[in-house]
């Protein structure tokens, strides 16, 4: 069954012809607002997941109170989305699924599926990859209607997902073993004068804000990209105005990240900031810099939706292995739970999106 938009129709052409124009307009408005409401809910769940990689390092070293995190996190995410989120939004809005298929129904299916998967992860207190869940949710209708851009998926997205965490782990391990540990043995990192210096503490906070900025360049597009493409299609806007529509979508979506941070952030911060490994302040800077820089690289170069959560935890594990040894880190329960949820949540998003797409198609909604 082909999409009404691909056949030259609008779903509103099938409304009764005698229905008053005002009622038709109300129906269109409600249909248009539903995906935006879902996108805001998704952004709230993403804010919960994103809080951990952004501020777990600073929180783990007791440099910032939990109550101060949502505000800083929300502001930096918003700035990052406006400054550098375009490429990732293009990938999610156009790169994997035929952009003409980004209708009210399909975008709602995608966003509901991602929000559901992330909500489950948040309830378990596990920071989850928003990007991977979103990509799997976009892939589901693409597979169902046989319009998947396999080249983009196989040659850009999947290699980035596998390579980036390995690089994050490797860099953190090498720095931890060959730079951090020798410095620590000489007593430099234990210097009270250094650790209590306001510039050093401020640098850690600044690094956490840098991570939040990187999240904005990548994760906001998970909701804003499909929403912007939907608006272009349904309102018959020229595709050349996609960037302007994307900015408006970002203005709606990005502030919800701070709300999600305040609702879900505390439990996830406890898991990553306190329970995986006992952070030192120098370690916190290393972890934040590596994970944020890799994510920013993926966002700006090719616009690949990438998991900052996995980059962050990989860096944490790399430092932990260099500090405590491989056996001590990988036997920790929290690490094992993270790996399980990282596999399960994207699969939940894919299966949910596939099921909802089939249901919508069966009911003639697409």
In order along the chain (366 residues), what is the average pLDDT of each group of 10 residues? 46 52 68 84 79 74 80 90 90 90 91 86 72 92 93 93 94 88 68 69 86 90 88 82 85 85 73 54 82 94 87 85 74 65 86 95 86
CA 168 to chain centre: 17
Does 176 map to a domain? yes
Q: Which two tokens stand for residue 73?
A: 């996190």
The pLDDT score that the predictor gives to residue 333 is: 44
The pLDDT score that the predictor gives to residue 68 is: 84
Q: Which domain holds residue 270?
A: 33-362
Does 9 map to a domain? no
Does 6 map to a domain? no
Domain count, the chain: 1
CA–CA separation, 243 and 343 (whole Å): 33
Does 16 map to a domain? no
The pLDDT score that the predictor gives to residue 244 is: 86
The pLDDT score that the predictor gives to residue 9 is: 47
CA–CA separation, 348 and 76 (whole Å): 29
The pLDDT score that the predictor gives to residue 5 is: 45
The pLDDT score that the predictor gives to residue 339 is: 75
Does 135 map to a domain? yes
Angle subtended at Cα 129 by Cα 123 and Cα 134, rounded to the nearest 5 degrees:
100
């Amino acid at each position: 069954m082909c999409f009404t938009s691909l056949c030259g129709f609008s779903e509103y052409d099938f409304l009764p012809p005698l229905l008053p124009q005002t009622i038709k307009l109300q129906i269109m408005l409600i249909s248009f607002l539903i995906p935006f409401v879902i996108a805001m809910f998704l952004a709230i769940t993403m804010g919960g997941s994103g809080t951990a990689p952004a501020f777990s390092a600073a929180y783990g070293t007791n440099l910032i109170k939990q109550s101060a995190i949502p505000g800083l996190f929300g502001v930096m995410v918003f700035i990052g989305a406006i400054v550098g989120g375009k490429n990732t939004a293009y990938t999610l809005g156009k790169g994997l699924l035929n952009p003409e298929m980004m209708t009210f129904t399909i975008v709602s299916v995608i966003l509901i599926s991602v929000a559901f998967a992330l909500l489950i992860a948040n309830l378990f207190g596990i920071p989850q990859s928003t990007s991977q869940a979103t990509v799997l949710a976009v892939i589901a209708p693409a597979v169902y209607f046989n319009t998947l851009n396999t080249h983009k998926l196989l040659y850009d997205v999947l290699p980035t997902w596998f390579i980036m965490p390995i690089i994050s782990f490797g860099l953190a391990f090498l720095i931890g073993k060959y730079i951090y540990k020798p410095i620590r043995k000489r007593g430099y990192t234990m210097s009270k004068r250094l650790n209590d210096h306001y510039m050093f503490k401020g640098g850690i906070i600044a690094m956490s804000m840098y991570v939040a900025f990187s999240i904005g360049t990548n994760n906001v597009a998970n909701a804003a990209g499909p929403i912007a493409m939907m608006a272009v299609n349904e309102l018959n806007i020229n595709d050349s105005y996609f960037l302007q529509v994307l900015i408006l979508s970002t203005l709606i979506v990005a502030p919800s990240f701070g709300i999600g941070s305040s609702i879900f952030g505390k439990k996830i911060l406890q898991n990553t900031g306190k329970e995986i490994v006992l952070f030192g302040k120098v370690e916190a800077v290393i972890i934040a810099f590596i994970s944020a820089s890799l994510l920013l690289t993926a966002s700006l170069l090719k616009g690949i939706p990438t998991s900052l959560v996995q980059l962050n935890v990989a860096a944490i594990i790399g430092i932990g292995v260099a500090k405590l040894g491989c056996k001590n880190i990988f036997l920790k329960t929290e690490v094992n739970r993270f790996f399980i949820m990282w596999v399960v949540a994207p699969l939940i998003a894919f299966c949910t999106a596939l099921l909802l797409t089939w249901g919508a198609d069966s009911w003639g909604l697409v």
